[in-house]
Structures are given as C-alpha cells and as structure tokens.
C-alpha cells in the first residue's frame, strides 16, 4: 500500500518557486493567497517590473507513490 501525494512546483519560466520557497515566503497572508491561487486553477502569476504585468506560471503536479 502506498500514499499518493501531490507536490506543487510553481514554474516561473526561468526559475522555479518550490514548495520550500513558498513556505519561506515572508508573510503568512501571501502564502495563503498563493495557496488559494493554486487551489483554484493550478496556476499562478507574478509581477514583473516596471509594469504591474503578470507572468503566468504553471503548477506541476507530481504524483509520488510512497511505499
């Protein structure tokens, strides 16, 4: 019997914001917002200067079977 687990990696194109990096975000309210975005659509976006533009990022769902 194994446990199925979904891991999220937010692919920011050139960089990735891993679960660990998300957990290291400096504010619980920002974490909650990102988690809410992930739950809603499996995607997120982030701002880029100088304009408040958004870069779509995709969540990568990794299913791992743990023995």
Partner 1 sequence: MPEQRLPIPYSALPSSLIDAVRVPIDTYIIKVASRCNLNCTYCYGDESYQLQPYRMSSATVLAFLSRVASYCLEEHLQEILFIFHGGEPLLAGKDFFREFVTVASASLGIQVKPTYALETNGTLLTSEWLDLFRELDISFGISLDGPAAINDRNRVNHAGAGSYSKVRRALDAVLADRRLDQLFGGVLTVINLAAEPLDLYHHWREIGIRRCDFLLPDGTYDNLPPGLSPDGLQTPYADWLIEIFDEWFKKEDTTLSIRIFENIIKLLFDPEAGNDALGGGQSGLLVVETDGGMEPLDVLKICGSEFTKLGLNVARNEIREVHSADLMHLYQLGATGICNTCRACPVVAVCGGGYLPHRYSSRCGFANPSVYCRDLMKLITHVRDRVLAAIPQHTCQKLRLRTLSYEEALVLRVPGELTGGRPDAKP
Q: Which is nearer to partner 1, 6 or 16 (CB)?
A: 16
1-9, 20-28, 59-67 -> range binding partner 1 (CB under 8 A): 20-28
Our finding on whether 3 is near partner 1 (CB under 8 A) is no
Gap between the Cα atoms of 55 and 32, Å rounded = 19
Beta bridge partners of 58: 11, 43
By the 10 Å C-beta count (0-12 exposed, 13-18 middle, 19+ buried), 10 is classed as buried
Instruction: Catalog residues that contact partner 1 under the rule CB under 8 A.
Output: 12, 14-15, 17, 21, 24-30, 32-34, 36-37, 40-41, 43-56
């Amino acid at each position: 019997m194994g446990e199925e687990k979904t891991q999220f990696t937010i692919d920011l194109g050139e960089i990735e914001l891993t679960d660990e990096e998300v957990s290291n975000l400096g504010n619980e309210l920002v974490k909650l917002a990102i988690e809410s975005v992930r739950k809603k659509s499996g995607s997120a976006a982030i701002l880029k200067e100088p304009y408040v533009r958004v870069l779509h990022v995709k969540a990568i769902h990794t299913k791992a079977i743990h023995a």
